[in-house]
Structure 1
Amino acid sequence: MGAKTAILAYIDGNAGQQLGRSERLTVEVARQLVNRIHPDRPAEQLPDATLADEVWPSDDHTYVAAFAGVYLVCDQRFAVERPSQLAPHLFDLAAGRRVLLHTMHSGSDALAIGVWEAGQLRRALGVRSGTVVENVGPLLPFEAPYWRHHDADGETTSVPIRPLDLGEAALRAWFGFALEGEISRNQIDPDDIPVYGFRTADPTGAEQATRQALLEQFRRTHTLRRYSMGPDGTLVEIIDA
């Protein structure tokens, strides 16, 4: 699986029934939400895109699927390991709506899902590289089949399931679409869902500098290996002289 997501959703009703099917709200409504999410970053409008392409936007970009009753805000800044670490002001924007966090990354086998109701955290699960880093609240209905034969209480530290499989189940249950596998007759195609785009870069440059520093640190501490195809069809590591 190669799926990545970073979605914060504000839901009033059933997102699977409203996403792409209820009235699409204006770009100014989406901009106002983005301005409140990132009050210190000017929102410069980008061309519209589709949800399928922007569930994991590029750095400094924010995309919004805005329909009556449901907002899906996509931004890499939401990709936290522990849902409880999300900034408190994000819940001040809910105005009574249910808030859902969905972020997963195939490269690190990571998943984080969170549910807030009336501003209170009801469920948080954070998994990374085979370890549970946060586990708060009772299982959600779609989780049960994945944990049926395993202990999923607060003492769990190992992951007996594939986090990305659970992540796809969460997408289907919450939003009515998935990124991997076949699209069922009743399932939404995220390629059909338009999103408004905004560039939301830090005007001070501090966020970009921090991101670059972390990248350089990663490069110093991780050896990148290169391979070529051998004559027998196997991969052979390239060793520089």
Structure 2
Amino acid sequence: MGAKTALLVYMNTGVSGAPRMTGNADSERTRALVRRLYPGWEVAGASGCELGDATYPVEGTAYIGSFPGTDITCDRHWMGDYPTRPPQHLIDGSVGRRMVVHWMHSVVDFFAFAVW
């Protein structure tokens, strides 16, 4: 089974600043983020979960939360062999913010980390 992650994070702070994800995600901002990243997809609300349990959701599912200064998406749909070539709309979504990608699949010794 191994360890797996598929994270895309937008932050207002620099990489050296820790993301602030205290409390619950802002539901309205989260829905707006989903509409922007997944145009045309069905949005279903969910109760909160721990980040450690959400980093590699089942195919067709994404865990997304918008917190003050930090938006986080856990979705292996974007995961690929070239982390420096994500879909353009993901890069466009980071304008004025830091974008961090963290993909890992320990079974096949794959790890990718990218920062914009």
TM range (shorter): 0.7 to 0.9
User: Is 38-47 or 92-101 further displaced after alignment?
Assistant: 38-47
- Written as runs of structure 1 = structure 2, the 5 A alignment for 1:4-153 is 4-13=4-13, 17-21=18-22, 24-116=24-116
In 2, Cα distance between equivalents of 1:71 and 1:105: 22
Choose between structure 1 and 2: higher helix proportion: 1
CA root-mean-square deviation: 2.0
**Normalised by the size of structure 1, how large is the TM-score?**
0.44
Percent identity over the alignment is: 33
Q: Is the contact made by 2:33 and 2:66 (CA closer than 8 Å) also made in structure 1?
A: no
Q: Is the contact made by 1:24 and 1:68 (CA closer than 8 Å) also made in structure 2?
A: no
Q: Is the contact made by 2:11 and 2:19 (CA closer than 8 Å) also made in structure 1?
A: no
Paired AA for residue 81 in structure 1: D
Deviation of 1:36 (Å): 0.9
Deviation of 1:61 (Å): 1.1
Tell me which stretches of 4 or more aligned residues in structure 1 moved more than 6 Å: none
Deviation of 1:18 (Å): 3.7
**Normalised by the size of structure 2, how large is the TM-score?**
0.86
In 1, Cα distance between equivalents of 2:24 and 2:97: 18
In 1, Cα distance between equivalents of 2:67 and 2:24: 4
Matched residue count: 115
Q: Is the contact made by 2:24 and 2:48 (CA closer than 8 Å) also made in structure 1?
A: no
Deviation of 1:37 (Å): 0.6
Greater relative contact order: 1 or 2 (C-alpha under 8 angstroms, separation 6 or more)?
A: 2
CA shift digits 1:103-138 (9 cap, x unpaired)? 00011110111111xxxxxxxxxxxxxxxxxxxxxx
In 1, Cα distance between equivalents of 2:107 and 2:83: 19
Give ranges in structure 2 of 5+ residues lacking alignment: none
Deviation of 1:34 (Å): 1.1
In 1, Cα distance between equivalents of 2:49 and 2:20: 15
In 1, Cα distance between equivalents of 2:46 and 2:60: 12
In 1, Cα distance between equivalents of 2:98 and 2:30: 18
In 2, Cα distance between equivalents of 1:95 and 1:36: 13
